[in-house]
Amino acid sequence: MATELEQAKQRLEHFEARHSASGLLLRYANQRLRYFWLRQLFTLGATPVFFLNGHPLAGLLAIALLLLGEAVDCGILSQLPKQLAQGVSVRKLQSLSTATAFFHALTISAVVLLPVAFESSIATIAFGLAFLVAAGINSSFSASFHRRATYTRLAVILATALAFAPLYILRHSVTLVDFWYAFFAIALSVLTVNAFVKSTREAFKRALLSNKEMLKQSHKFALANQELLDRENEIRKLALVAQNANDSIFITNSDAEIIWINDAFTRITGYDQNEAIGQKPATLLNGPETNQSTSDSIRDALAAAKPLRTEILNCTKSGVHIWVETNQVPVLDETGQVEMVIAIERDISAAKQHEAALDAAKIAAEDGERAKAQFLATMSHEIRTPMNGIIGMADLLTEMALPRDQRNYVDTIKVSAEALLRIINDILDFSKFDAGKSTISRSDFAFLGCVESALNILRPKALEKGIFIDLDCLTPVPEMLHGDDGHIRQILINIVGNAIKFTQNGGVTIQVSSTPQNDTHLVTLKVKDTGIGIDQAQIGQIFEEFSQADGDITRKFGGTGLGLTISRLLAREMGGDITVESVANQGSAFTITLPLGAVSDEAVQAAKTDTQAPSDLRLPGVKALVAEDNMTNQLLMKTYLKNTGMNVLYARNGVEAVKLAKRHDPRIIFMDMSMPEMDGIEATRAIRRADIPQPTIIALTANVFASDKAACLNAGMDGFLAKPLKRSDLIGCLAGL
């Protein structure tokens, strides 16, 4: 059928080409050339007439003129195909062929008029008129192909016929009857030729329209056949796809009864054609555990002629429950009513089981995270509570006049306790980052003061090892900047502390520079040491958690392997970064870059006027309540508050704290979060509900997570002090009363 369509198309194209301007011109030329020898036979047959007219020379001249006209006309026409192929325009070739037709018609005219000029016999003259009529009829065959050439010939022939009678009368004496006979003969000849021309053109037009319409219809028929064949092929392919698809496919009629199923339907559900056809899908496949609302939604959607995709629990022939994803599409008839429904269903039971397993795993992971958070909170509290006592008592002992040996013992206790506290802080900080709960708290602060405070903490260790710590400002640094000074101090303590730990000779140099950038300053701190350095093959590992460049380092120098990891995480959290360059046995250089906000001059001046909390604060007669179950921490608080002149009460649990608060109306309460019988959160809420003058309540706890601080504030507390508690922090808190 594809060949038939191509053939019909080719026939139509060929027809259009034949009846185009160039096609008609070529057909005109071919026709004239095809009948060339027939015209010459006619001329040869007329030759005796020309010689019997009494003037043989005139006959020879007439024959010569005829042959000349034919030669010129056919010679030009034979070149038309070649000239068209060379790109000569059709209009130009039409004009040229019209000119040769005119010349050829003049030679015919000469043949007719020569006998009259030589006073030939009436028979010769009659033959000339007949020849003229024959020439006109012969020319009319080309009227549909080349109108200009045809009508040019006919015009010349008509002019010859009109000139024939006057010329004949002038050359001969004729009667009136002879004149009218001649006139009617010429008129009849002209009418005959005209009628033949009209008949020929009308027949050509009818044939043209008929053939063109027939070819168009043939092409349309072939096209329709091709479309039908394509549709049949498409339907056949779709049928094969549906029949061999892995998904279950069934079709229902307007009454929602199954009329067709594929092989996958039988494989998945267990029902063959005899069992399925004529049944309603819900009746056949729904089980006791099928969600009725889902089944109703399918029915309602199809009743409204709307497609629907959903999931439903079905039951196979053997009673096995399967989850299927069903996609049901209604097919509408001309009136808009549902004619049939095509349903494609996929078995998603395995996906559902996997989804359930993922949900269970997610719940288990969340339970694990909660357990981990609870464990860290508990461990933080349980470790920090005794650490508060150890460090606090060590601080108090250092203020006493002790013999050198005893002072060394106290310093050792204090350093060891602080080292243990740093390890705990590292683990807790990393757990915050791991849980995505780390927060950046920005404020205006004195940048160089922050750096100096970090170095002051580390200088004793450097002096103990006999190495130097230098601070160089390579560029002017703003007096105050906006950022998280606590985390910046933590980064410096980690980086510079590491440099001191791994440096045996020489020292550590901190180079500070600042570059203004719009409303910020890009601050760079380069920490260079002359320590053991890092091998290039291992330098990429130093920022990984719980890892160091060499396993022997942990045994020799100690540490958790979290300091650098936390420092880089903090720097990146603040929009900066930490990079390292190092050469083994020559030292390392850590570069800390931090974008910090600019601080206005007014804010700088205001900060300078702020007063610091006094180191010795007197608050005589002020009532304070300390809710603390740990006796060591109670003793520490008594010692810290001994010289303040305050009237301090102590409670061992939340219940006692509430009773004492209602009875004594303290101005400030230090509330431990974890206590027996009633914790600090519940005790605070009870105090806030009580009809008493409301005190300032400060959380005093070893629970240092952000969530713990938020819980304290939400319960109604006014502040937060973390254990291990420093006396300076406590005095600073009291200074705000």
d(CA 64, CA 570): 116
Please write down the HEC assignment for all residues of 450-490: HHHHHHHHHHHHHHHHCCEEEEEECCCCCCEEEECHHHHHH
For residues 139 and 153, is the Cβ–Cβ distance under 8 A? yes
Count of CB atoms within 10 A of residue 309's CB? 11
pLDDT value of position 593: 93
Cα angle: 350, vertex 352, 357; to 5 degrees:
95
**For residue 545, what pLDDT is reported?**
53
The predicted pLDDT at position 131 comes to: 73
Backbone angle region of 725, left / alpha / beta, with phi > 0 → left and psi within -120 to 50 → alpha? beta
Task: Name the region of 620 (left: φ>0; alpha: ψ -120 to 50; beta: rest).
Answer: beta
Domain borders along the chain are 2-217, 245-347, 439-601, 623-735
* Structure-block tokens of residue 48: 């005796």
Report helix, strand or coil for 697.
Answer: strand
d(CA 682, CA 727): 27
3-state class (DSSP) for residue 312: strand
Q: Mention every residue, 6+ apart, whose C-beta is less than 8 A from residue 61.
A: 110, 114
pLDDT above 50: residue 558? no
Please determine, for residue 627, whether its predicted confidence score (pLDDT) is greater than 90: yes
Q: Which residue has the tokens 């406590």?
A: 730
Question: Is residue 121 helix, strand or coil?
Answer: coil
3-class secondary-structure state, position 222: helix
Model confidence pLDDT, tens digit, residues 23-61: 777 888 888 888 778 777 776 666 666 555 556 676 677
Nearest to 647, CA basis, from 606, 605, 619: 619
By the 8 A CB rule, do 417 and 394 touch? yes
Q: What is the pLDDT of residue 147?
A: 80
Interval 406-417 mean pLDDT = 69
Q: Alpha helices of 317-348 — where are they, by DSSP H?
A: none
**Residue 165, SS3 per DSSP:** helix
Rounded CA separation 501/423 (Å): 15
The count of residues in the chain is: 737
Whether 560 shows a pLDDT value over 50: the answer reads: no
Q: Which amino acid is at 101?
A: A
Looking at the predicted structure, is the pLDDT value of residue 15 above 80? no
State the Cα–Cα distance between residues 396 and 389, nearest whole angstrom.
10
Q: Which two tokens stand for residue 681?
A: 């959160």
Nearest to 730 by CA among 489, 501, 388: 388
Give residue-wise pLDDT tens across range 502-518. 898 999 999 999 999 88
Residue 301 is encoded by which pair of tokens? Answer: 């959607």
pLDDT in tens, 305-362: 888 888 888 888 888 888 988 888 888 887 888 888 888 888 888 888 888 888 888 8
User: What is the assigned CATH class of domain 439-601?
Assistant: alpha beta
Position 474: which residue type?
L
Query: Token match 């006309």: residue?
Result: 73
Question: Is 666's pLDDT higher than 60?
Answer: yes
The shares of helix, strand and coil residues in the chain, as percent rounded to the nearest 5, are 60, 15, 25
Interatomic CA distance for residues 63 and 54, integer angstroms: 15
Please report which confidence band the pLDDT of residue 459 belongs to, taking 50, 70 and 90 as the band edges. Answer: confident
Residue 326: count other Cβ atoms within 10 Å of its Cβ.
Answer: 21
**551 pLDDT higher than 50:** no
DSSP string for residues in 627-645: E---HHHHHHHHHHHGGGT
Burial (0-12, 13-18, 19+ Cβ within 10 Å), 570 = buried
Residue 288: band (very low, low, confident or very high) from pLDDT cuts 50, 70, 90: confident
Confidence of residue 298 (pLDDT cuts 50, 70, 90): confident
Mean pLDDT over the full length of the chain? 77
If 0-12 CB within 10 Å is exposed, 13-18 middle and 19+ buried, where does residue 299 land? middle
DSSP-derived pairing of the beta strands 577-583 and 587-598: antiparallel
Name the amino acid, one letter, at 133: V
Q: What is the pLDDT of residue 153?
A: 82
Question: Using CA atoms in the order 355, 356, 357, 360, what is the torsion angle rounded to 10 degrees?
Answer: 120
Enumerate the β-bridge partners of residue 321. Answer: 315
Residue 510 is predicted with a pLDDT of: 92
Q: How many CB atoms lie within 10 A of CB 135?
A: 26
Beta strands in 466-553 (DSSP E): 468-473, 480-483, 507-517, 520-529
The CATH number of the structural domain formed by 245-347 is 3.30.450.20
Residue carrying structure tokens 């004195």: 446
Contacts of 155 (CB under 8 A, 6+ apart): 105
Q: Return the number of other C-beta atoms located less than 10 Å from residue 452's C-beta.
A: 13
Q: Are 653 and 630 in contact (CB under 8 A)?
A: no
Residue with more model confidence, 315 or 606: 315
Residue closest to 499 by CA, chosen among 564, 448, 571, 421? 564
Architecture of domain 623-735 in CATH?
A: 3-Layer(aba) Sandwich (3.40)
Please give the helix or strand (H or E) that residue 668 lies within, else none: strand 668-671
Distance (Å, whole) CA 235 – CA 668? 87
Q: Cβ distance 388 to 670 under 8 Å? A: no
Q: What is the pTM of this model?
A: 0.40
CB atoms within 10 A of CB 241: 11
**Which sign does the torsion angle of CA 729, 731, 732, 734 carry?**
positive
